[in-house]
Structure 1
Amino acid sequence: MANGGPRDLISTDEKVFSLPKVYFELQAALNDPDKTFQDIGEIISYDTALTARLLKIVNSSFYGFPSRIETVSHAISIIGMNQLTDLALATLVIYQFKGVPNTLFNMEKFWRHSMACGVAARSIAEIRGEKNIERFYLAGILHDIGRLVILKKEPEVARETLMQSRDKKENIYLSERDQLGFDHADVGGELLEAWQLPPRLVEAVRYHHQPQNAREFYLDTVIIHTADYIVHVLHVGSDADYSEPQLYPKSWEVIGISPDDFEFMRDKVNQQYEGIVKMFFQ
């Protein structure tokens, strides 16, 4: 059984739970008013693997641009610097944790669920006309990242929580609270805070099971919570839960999605989800 709180799981293994240097270089460049999108493109281009993955994404059905994008600088000029940086972070995290073994649950299914949640959150944000919709994709990708930390640091506890969730047919976060006193959302929030990611991203991940507790970024949190619920209901992607999460009663009212929007979003999620998954698992 783990001692202490969620922060202790992060601080005891900083090397494992750290981001690649390229991300911090990107953040520094974004915060420098003298940097141009060519400068950002040059930083990304030093990482050839990241460059290839990003160009693959921006040329996929996920974006549906009419002509092929050949360079990162071109992609930035169309998508925007902040948006491409968020997309880069999502891509970096997936590959950073992709080597976690399938000891307790299927990691491909875990990432499929995370990607589906990201696509659903992005679709909700797009329907609402939110700015920088990639931040919602990023939050969706990262919403369950705390599970991987628990699996890495407390594998026996992770096993016990999965067994309890299965036996009681309860959501995994409830089993985690029973076993640990906190859940993967708490751990995910601590990890993103340690990575010095934006507070709105930290809060959306930390409270995605309890959006009513979000203080500053209530809407972002409700969107991620609702996206998580939607992909469970639509069975788009799959994860280790043995019961569907409960939807926050005010979700539809807060995000302003109508039944017609939901039908449109379902089709869009299915289409974009298949496109993004193929790039990572084929």
Structure 2
Amino acid sequence: MAQLTSDLSVPVKDVADRIGSDAELSKKMLEVVNSGFYKLAAPASSIEEAIQLLGYKKMCNLGVGLDLISHFLTEAGGPFDHARFWERSICHGVAAAAITSKLPSDLPADVFTVGLLQDIGVLFFVQYKPLEYGSALGVSKGQSTHMVLAEQDSIGVDHAKIGALLFRKWKLPKLLGDAVLSHHYYEADKTPARGIKTIL
């Protein structure tokens, strides 16, 4: 998916067909598109129509983000609130894209993907380290400790680090992975990822 949508010369219909071949991804994308976050005048009834309404790049970024997210369990169950997590993630992505569009900068268009996936490391913990992550949550809430510090203490690594490693594994741009790596900390430096971190 990421390779297909990174080539802007690919016809819209080809992208729509690729997304449409995955019924679950197609359903999820249309749910997000029609959820109110994008404030469409009328709901989109197909992926191709959604691309026409939102634009190629926005739909590609949404598709990439949701496609990568599908690597993890997304069904509700246990103490973790998946629905709230997804709602917050989508808000992050939409807000990051909206802020970027208002700035006279050369920040990458796929900042939406960074906003959407900035906490993907949390899902990694929920799926692969549920007991340790539960312990970190308890420490964070019980001792008013920053979640990143609680994760480092309970698991040995925080979700931002895991997120950056996943970005590298998925071969996403290093700039985006660097932003995810330190999105909880604003550093007064001039690194390329600084602008994205400020938005996140």
Q: TM-score band (shorter)? A: 0.7 to 0.9
- Count of aligned pairs between the two proteins: 198
2:154 corresponds to 1:179 = yes
CA distance in 1 between counterparts of 2:88 and 2:8 reads: 35
Counterpart in the other structure of 1:99? 75
Q: TM-score, normalised by structure 2?
A: 0.79
The worse-fitting range, judged by mean Cα deviation, of 77-86 and 127-136 is: 127-136
CA distance in 2 between counterparts of 1:31 and 1:168 reads: 48
2:120 corresponds to 1:145 = yes
Q: TM-score, normalised by structure 1?
A: 0.59
CA distance in 2 between counterparts of 1:201 and 1:75 reads: 25
Q: What amino acid sits opposite 2:93 in the alignment?
A: G
Counterpart in the other structure of 1:222? 198
Indicate the SS of the match to 1:117: helix
CA distance in 2 between counterparts of 1:185 and 1:36 reads: 35
Rate the CA distance shift 1:120–1:163 in 2: closer, same or farther, 3 A: same
**CA displacement at 1:195 relative to structure 2:** 1.3
Gaps of 5+ in 2: none
CA distance in 2 between counterparts of 1:36 and 1:132 reads: 25
Preserved contact between residue 133 and residue 155 of structure 2 (Cα < 8 Å): no
Indicate the SS of the match to 1:211: coil
Q: What amino acid sits opposite 1:147 in the alignment?
A: V
2:91 corresponds to 1:90 = no
Preserved contact between residue 146 and residue 186 of structure 1 (Cα < 8 Å): yes
**CA displacement at 1:184 relative to structure 2:** 0.8
CA distance in 1 between counterparts of 2:194 and 2:35 reads: 31
Rate the CA distance shift 1:69–1:116 in 2: closer, same or farther, 3 A: closer
**CA displacement at 1:176 relative to structure 2:** 1.6
Counterpart in the other structure of 1:167? 142
Preserved contact between residue 69 and residue 120 of structure 2 (Cα < 8 Å): no
**CA displacement at 1:40 relative to structure 2:** 1.4
2:23 corresponds to 1:48 = yes
Q: What amino acid sits opposite 1:98 in the alignment?
A: T
Gaps of 5+ in 1: 1-22, 225-282
**CA displacement at 1:204 relative to structure 2:** 2.1
2:165 corresponds to 1:190 = yes
Indicate the SS of the match to 2:171: coil
Q: What amino acid sits opposite 2:162 in the alignment?
A: V
Counterpart in the other structure of 2:176? 201
Task: Supply the RMSD in Å over aligned alpha carbons.
Answer: 3.0
CA distance in 1 between counterparts of 2:105 and 2:55 reads: 14
Give CA-to-partner distance per residue, 1:210-242, whole Å, 9 cap, x none.
Answer: 232783221112111xxxxxxxxxxxxxxxxxx
User: Which residue of the other structure, out of 90, 96, 107, is the alignment partner of 1:115?
Assistant: 90
CA distance in 2 between counterparts of 1:137 and 1:29 reads: 14
Q: What amino acid sits opposite 2:198 in the alignment?
A: V
Larger Rg: 1
Counterpart in the other structure of 2:4? 28
Counterpart in the other structure of 1:58? 33
Give CA-to-partner distance per residue, 1:30-89, whole Å, 9 cap, x none.
Answer: 4384x2222212212222333333334434532233355444334334433332111113
Rate the CA distance shift 1:152–1:69 in 2: closer, same or farther, 3 A: closer
Pick 1 or 2: higher relative contact order, CA cutoff 8 A, min separation 6: 1
Rate the CA distance shift 1:133–1:194 in 2: closer, same or farther, 3 A: closer
Counterpart in the other structure of 1:39? 14
Preserved contact between residue 114 and residue 140 of structure 1 (Cα < 8 Å): yes
Give CA-to-partner distance per residue, 1:223-281, whole Å, 9 cap, x none.
Answer: 11xxxxxxxxxxxxxxxxxxxxxxxxxxxxxxxxxxxxxxxxxxxxxxxxxxxxxxxxx
